[in-house]
A and B are shown apart, each in its own frame.
Chain A
Amino acid sequence: MKPSDRLPACLEEIDRRKTYRTTRTREPNMIANNHYDDDELLKLLRRRMRDGEDLALAHVESCTTCQAKLETISQSGMTWDEVSDLLRPDATSSVVNFDRSPGLNDAEGILANLPTFLEPTGHPDSLGRFARYEIME
């Protein structure tokens, strides 16, 4: 290529990227740098990919970039700590934090009296009692 035939530097970069996109993109649902976009990841989360789910799953399970995007989509602003706080069977952390706020009475007594979620039971198949109910599973 003669010097006068060369593209300006900025156009060379665009041309190079175009070639990269063409040669590296193998799956129609993947964006240029070989990762799935948010729509496809949401479909993967909800098992709604029409085809190629196994391929997508194999990619995402080995791709930290797609995993990070998948976590962002699934969390939708929640943190894993918040999820844990909401779902722990004997979760009292928000209650504890709340009642440690200044100005509340008997905070220590309240903390000492906080129950575990389930009460003891004599039923052989029960996990415990909640109020008058046996929790079986």
Chain B
Amino acid sequence: MQGPESRESLLARLGSPQSDEGWHEFASIYRPLVYRVARAKGLQHADAEDLTQEVLAVVERSLDQFDPAIGGFRSWLYQITRNLVVNHLTRRRGPIGSGDSDVGRILSQQPAIEQKTSTLFRLEYRRSCFQHATSIVKTEFSDATWSAFWLTAVELQSVESVAMQLGKSEGAIRVARCRVLDRLRVFVSEQSGGFEPPG
């Protein structure tokens, strides 16, 4: 979503209604991300859910303030969401705010005080990207290929054991899991549009 895409088309993709593909993609990645970071920082389920809703609402209201001159759209989305979450969780300032007039301030705030929460946010962003990719990419593979990947790469069962379960050779299991992992990495890379979260 960086580069040649115009501001208007970005907003069209990520603006209302929420059923829009772009917004759905954004929410698919950021909703679980914000929730997990909030829970990890000690918020109860309901509070984490409220924070998630509030953050996404502020981001959505702030879309028309994106300025392509200052950088890529994904970077902007990441920064504003991360800063909202980190600042709220570390400073406990109460309501997040209306968004519109606060975007510049939010973006300019460097949450260096809570670098660990920023690091957690980055790790959970990566997790969310891969889990989102998994939900999409899974449909491209046969059940056997997906099982070979999931059982060995995610559940960390031995290749030998999975080969016996699925009635395949160990080599076939290895090839299958490599094909899925390669596809996942390619999908995540394409979806990110070259954006790498800052360390």
Contact B155 A73 (CB under 8 A): no
- Interface flag for A114 (CB, 8 Å): yes
Contact A87 B154 (CB under 8 A): yes
Q: CB within 8 Å of A: which of B1-49?
A: 31-32, 35-36, 39-42, 44-45, 49
Name 29 interchain pairs, CB-CB below 8 A, sorted by A.
A46-B179, A46-B186, A47-B179, A61-B169, A61-B174, A62-B169, A63-B171, A67-B171, A70-B175, A74-B178, A75-B178, A80-B152, A81-B156, A84-B155, A86-B126, A87-B130, A87-B131, A94-B123, A94-B127, A98-B40, A98-B119, A98-B120, A98-B123, A101-B116, A106-B42, A114-B40, A115-B39, A115-B45, A131-B31
Give the docked Cα–Cα distance between A34 and B189 (Å).
32
Contact A74 B181 (CB under 8 A): yes
Least Cβ–Cβ distance between B46 and chain A, in angstroms: 10
Least Cβ–Cβ distance between B131 and chain A, in angstroms: 6
- Interface flag for A45 (CB, 8 Å): yes
Selected from A62, A70, A84, A131, the residue in CB contact (under 8 A) with B156 is: A84
Is chain A's interface secondary structure helix, strand, loop, or mixed overall? helix
Give the docked Cα–Cα distance between A92 and B39 (Å).
11
- For B182, the chain A residues whose CB sits under 8 A away are 45-46, 73-74
- For B183, the chain A residues whose CB sits under 8 A away are 46
Q: CB within 8 Å of A: which of B106-132?
A: 116, 119-120, 123-124, 126-127, 130-131
Give the docked Cα–Cα distance between A91 and B152 (Å).
16
Q: What class of interface size applies to chain B in its complex with A? A: 35 or more
- Interface flag for A71 (CB, 8 Å): yes
Give the docked Cα–Cα distance between A88 and B36 (Å).
14
Contact A130 B32 (CB under 8 A): yes
Q: CB within 8 Å of B: which of A83-134?
A: 83-88, 91-92, 94-95, 98-99, 101, 104-106, 109-110, 113-115, 119, 130-132
Is chain B's interface secondary structure helix, strand, loop, or mixed overall? helix
- For A45, the chain B residues whose CB sits under 8 A away are 178-179, 182
- Interface flag for A76 (CB, 8 Å): yes
Contact A109 B36 (CB under 8 A): no
- Interface flag for B57 (CB, 8 Å): no
With contacts A57-B175, A61-B175, A115-B45 taken as known, whether A83 is within 8 angstroms of B120 at the C-beta atoms is no
Give the docked Cα–Cα distance between A130 and B178 (Å).
30
- Interface flag for B166 (CB, 8 Å): no
Least Cβ–Cβ distance between B149 and chain A, in angstroms: 9
Least Cβ–Cβ distance between B160 and chain A, in angstroms: 13
Contact B41 A61 (CB under 8 A): no
- Interface flag for B172 (CB, 8 Å): yes
| Given A67-B175, A113-B39, A114-B39: 6 more A-B contacts, CB < 8 Å | A85-B127, A94-B120, A94-B124, A99-B40, A105-B42, A131-B52
- For B119, the chain A residues whose CB sits under 8 A away are 98
- Interface flag for B96 (CB, 8 Å): no
- Interface flag for B105 (CB, 8 Å): no
